[in-house]
Amino acid sequence: MPYVIAAPCIDVMDKACMDECPVDCIYEGNRKLYINPIECIDCGACEPACPVEAITQDRGVDEGHEEFVADNARFFELALPGREEPIGAPGGALGLGPVGADTEFVAGYRQSA
């Protein structure tokens, strides 16, 4: 998975990264955004667009945010609450629209003070 969105995006979701993504691979959950690891072309256009610096390459996530690498993939691989099937790789977020759900990890995540 080339790029990952971590904790700083939770409950912020500025979405500037979505405007910069040339392949429309950033999907909107309920509390945060997720990058589809199958659709991402590893161009890096999203990273500098994020005002809260939540986006990094998977091998460069900040200490304490390592779980977001696997969790980002789970968003697309598992059936989320209220959905019967996994999202998979539908070929772009724009056609799917906001998902309205998060992974269990993000749904229960509490930001540190």
Q: What domains can you pick out in the chain, each with its CATH number? A: 3-99 (3.30.70.20)
Q: What token pair was written down for 93?
A: 């977020």
pLDDT-derived band of residue 51, with 50, 70 and 90 as boundaries?
very high
pLDDT-derived band of residue 1, with 50, 70 and 90 as boundaries?
low
SS3 content of the chain, % helix, strand, coil (to 5): 30, 10, 60
| pLDDT single digits (tens) 6-47 | 999 999 999 999 999 999 999 999 999 999 999 999 999 999
- Residue 85: which residues within 8 A CB-CB, separation 6 or more? 79
DSSP 61: P
| pLDDT single digits (tens) 80-113 | 999 999 999 999 999 999 999 999 999 999 976 5
pTM: 0.94
